[in-house]
Amino acid sequence: MAQAARILIVDDDPDMLHLISLRLSAAGYQVSAADSGEAALLSFSEQRPQMVITDLRMGKMDGLTLFEHLQAEAPTLPVIILTAHGTIPDAVAATRRGVFSFLTKPFDGQELLRRVADGIRLSPKLDTANWRSSLITVSIRMEELLRQARRVAEESRTTLLIGPGGAGKTTLARAIHQAGPRSMQPFVSLSCTDYPAAELEEILNPNNPLGAWTQANGGVLYLQDVGALSPIAQGRLLTLLMAQLQSDDPFYRLESSVQKANSTNVQVIAASPRPLDASIAEGRFRSELYYLLSRTTLYVPPLSERCEDIPILAAHFLGNASPGKTLAPDAILALEEGNWPGNVRQLKNIIEQVSTGNLTEIISEMAVRRAMRDVEGESLIALDDARRDFERVYLIRLLQNTAGNVSQAARIAQRNRTEFYKLLARHELDPVNFKQRFK
């Protein structure tokens, strides 16, 4: 493992504590030990382990009481309970209360290691920082993204978020707002696809006291689907951003139309479901505005590229929707094997659907697969549409890389010039636009 997971072991039997510590240390885990529930709570607060293994029968605080304290602080923390006095009713009661696993002494060492590995896979990296509490992850890629987001927040940078629909761009934008010095100031979210062009242009007018720019003064303006802005709205936003950047320059003379923009202080976070290269190449998005927005660009990965987060996200959504219910192990495997065109939002919808549609406390694999089929069928586009979208993106990138040289592009695509021109005409792409931009 890249970074050894930390496990806290709790047992009032020193021999058992030593035995389990040796076994887990040999398996590559970082191990800390406590001989009582009280000592365990102190150790947990200091070290924030990714899993706790505790004996059931102890002195003042037994294993279930310890679990209740841990769950109050870290609801997704996996806890394994060991006991020499285990019975089936004990196991059922413990698992219903949310204990990850229950093993009876004497236990098989390999079985313990298997249970630990499963628990670590589900365990989030604990972080007491409230700003990222809505972003649940064990993904190394997501942790790096959050590290970058924290820096963006602290420095109040203008930022562009790129990621598919449902991946969590809005959640990340709100987290950036919470993490920085603007957290007590407004967070104004504006969808660029929800308004007619003229209305959106007026919303971005800095002289409009009810406009988004004015309302976001001192805080964050979040622009969803920024690529949908009209040319006039793009120009207005560009002027506002330029006014902010250059307002400290004594040699910069503001035009009267942006005098009010100079008096505002807004952090802009823009978002797009896809890179804006194609829109820039086709002249639908201003390159100057793109360069200002993308001074820092954060890529939000689709759920398919952070599959390790599926189990803990599912557990989180299920806990919110139906406390007390759990997913069967085979149901979790079914989720991990699924396609997620709708990303985290789609997973949330599926979990909410199965939580309300099942009366049993343990949700079966069959119920999950049925919900996945229903939701995936609604999310997928037709094959011809998918093929056409891919073909258009491919042609745009080809023309970008060849600076609009049709002969070179046709050779790379392994098509003759006549056929290649027909492809360009089908997608309304003019090579001249690429020559002008990239020559």
Q: What is the DSSP string of 373-408?
A: HHHHHHHPPPHHHHHHHHHHHHHHHHHHHTTT-HHH
Q: Where are the domains of the chain?
A: 6-122, 130-299, 303-379, 383-438
Q: What is the mean pLDDT of residues 76-96?
A: 72
Question: Is 50 exceeded by the pLDDT of residue 412?
Answer: yes
The predicted structure's pLDDT at residue 90: 65
| Phi, psi (deg, nearest 5) at residue 216 | -90, 5
Confidence of residue 260 (pLDDT cuts 50, 70, 90): very low
The lowest-confidence range among 272-281, 357-366, 370-379, 430-439 is 430-439
Q: Which residue has the higher pLDDT, 337 or 382?
A: 337
% of the chain with per-residue pLDDT over 70: 84
Residue 326: strand pairing partners:
362
Phi-psi region of 324 (alpha: psi -120 to 50; beta: other; left: phi over 0): left
The predicted structure's pLDDT at residue 85: 64
Say if residues 293 and 270 touch (Cβ distance below 8 Å).
yes
Measured in Å, how far apart are the chain's first and last C-alpha atoms? 48
In the chain, DSSP finds a helix count (H) and a strand count (E) of: 21, 12
The predicted structure's pLDDT at residue 168: 93
The predicted structure's pLDDT at residue 8: 93
Segment 173-196, tens digit of pLDDT:
999 999 889 988 999 999 888 878
Q: Indicate the residue type of 432.
A: V
Query: Options 3.10.450.50, 3.30.2350.10, 3.40.50.300, 3.40.50.2300; which CATH number does 6-122 get?
Result: 3.40.50.2300
Question: Is 90 exceeded by the pLDDT of residue 171?
Answer: yes
Question: Is 60 exceeded by the pLDDT of residue 252?
Answer: no
The predicted structure's pLDDT at residue 89: 67
Say if residues 180 and 156 touch (Cβ distance below 8 Å).
yes
Whole-number Å distance between alpha carbons of 355 and 216: 38
- pTM across the whole model: 0.59
Q: Is 6-122's fold the same as 130-299's?
A: yes
Q: What is the mean pLDDT of residues 229-247?
A: 86
Question: Is 70 exceeded by the pLDDT of residue 244?
Answer: yes
Whole-number Å distance between alpha carbons of 31 and 218: 46
Q: How many CB atoms lie within 10 A of CB 379?
A: 17
Say if residues 298 and 275 touch (Cβ distance below 8 Å).
no
* CATH code of domain 303-379: 1.10.8.60
Residue 216's Cα: distance from chain center in Å? 24
Question: Is 60 exceeded by the pLDDT of residue 288?
Answer: yes
Whole-number Å distance between alpha carbons of 174 and 311: 24
Q: Which residue has the higher pLDDT, 394 or 2?
A: 394
Average pLDDT, the chain: 82
Helix (H, G, I), strand (E, B) or coil at 361: coil
| Phi, psi (deg, nearest 5) at residue 30 | -85, 125
Q: How many CB atoms lie within 10 A of CB 16?
A: 16
The predicted structure's pLDDT at residue 290: 93
In CATH, what is the architecture of 130-299?
3-Layer(aba) Sandwich (3.40)
The predicted structure's pLDDT at residue 259: 45
The predicted structure's pLDDT at residue 384: 61
Q: How many CB atoms lie within 10 A of CB 181?
A: 12
Tell me which residue of 277, 274, 309 sits closest to 397, measured CA to CA.
277
% of the chain with per-residue pLDDT over 90: 20
Segment 326-377, tens digit of pLDDT:
888 888 999 998 888 889 999 998 998 888 877 678 888 888 888 888 765 5
